[in-house]
Chain A
Amino acid sequence: MHDDAVFRALADPSRRRLLDSLHRSNGQTLTALCHGLDMTRQAVTKHLGILEQANLVATRREGREKLHFINPVPINEIAERWIGKFQRRQLSALSALKKTLEEKRP
């Protein structure tokens, strides 16, 4: 079942940080991804492999560089399976409220 691979890949904080980094800046090289994240090149390579297997990261060759892109399609499928049928707007209003309240904290 493909969902298993997605959940396994997401179950690791380092891999979630890698996805966060790609979400901020899509299409990064391995070197760019290592930079700024407190991880060895070897660890990043391993985690990227698992993310790629789960189809959460797609890669493209451009000249001599390999660029990494976050692929949101599997996460969207999971979201639609459990959340899509509820009122998405209310949910996003709630998460916006939570965000605002949390940002106001001293």
Chain B
Amino acid sequence: MTTTPGSSYVYVTYIRTTQERLWDALTTPEFIRQYWFGVTITSDFRKGSPWKLELPDGTLGDSGQILESDPPRRLVIKWRNEWKPELKDEGYSRCVMELEPSGEAVKLTITHGIESGQGKFIEAVSGGWPKVLSNLKSLLESGKLALTAAY
């Protein structure tokens, strides 16, 4: 991945759970829908498999492929926007999810970067990731959501 300024973002959160539970939370569509504002993810999360994200109204939001899958440690998704032409034009981004034990918690690091374009796609997702991750943390730790809708 290149390091063009602004084309890569890193999100880190510590969640009091196990690597296995967090992996399941990241790869189980019924669970994802709860913390990811109703989106539907379709994939079997095996290396080489297709991956897609549909918005709550059924619109295809993003699509791509699983590049690496090493449960419960590392997942890499090739990821392109499909519904906004100016974002789709930027091509494929790369989203790396890393799960590492850290004391009684698991450190989740999400690195989302793109090699081409003006970084518009990465900027567009940058508002979303913190909300999705806060919700995921809240759901895993307390069983409750921090937010029920994106604002």
Contacts and interface: CB of A to CB of B under 8 A. Distances in A.
Interface string A53-89: 0010010101001010101110111001000100011
A84 B151 contact: yes
A28 B5 contact: yes
Given A71-B11, A76-B130, A58 B151 contact: no
Interface residues of A, number: 22
A69 B12 CA distance: 10
A89 B151 contact: yes
A26 B8 contact: yes
B151 A55 contact: no
B37 to A, nearest CB: 13
A89 B149 CA distance: 13
Contacts of B133: 73, 76
Contacts of B25: none
B111 interface: yes
Interface of B: 1, 3, 5-6, 8-14, 109, 111, 126, 129-131, 133-134, 137, 146-147, 151
Interface of A: 2, 25-28, 55, 58, 60, 62, 65, 67, 69, 71-73, 75-77, 80, 84, 88-89
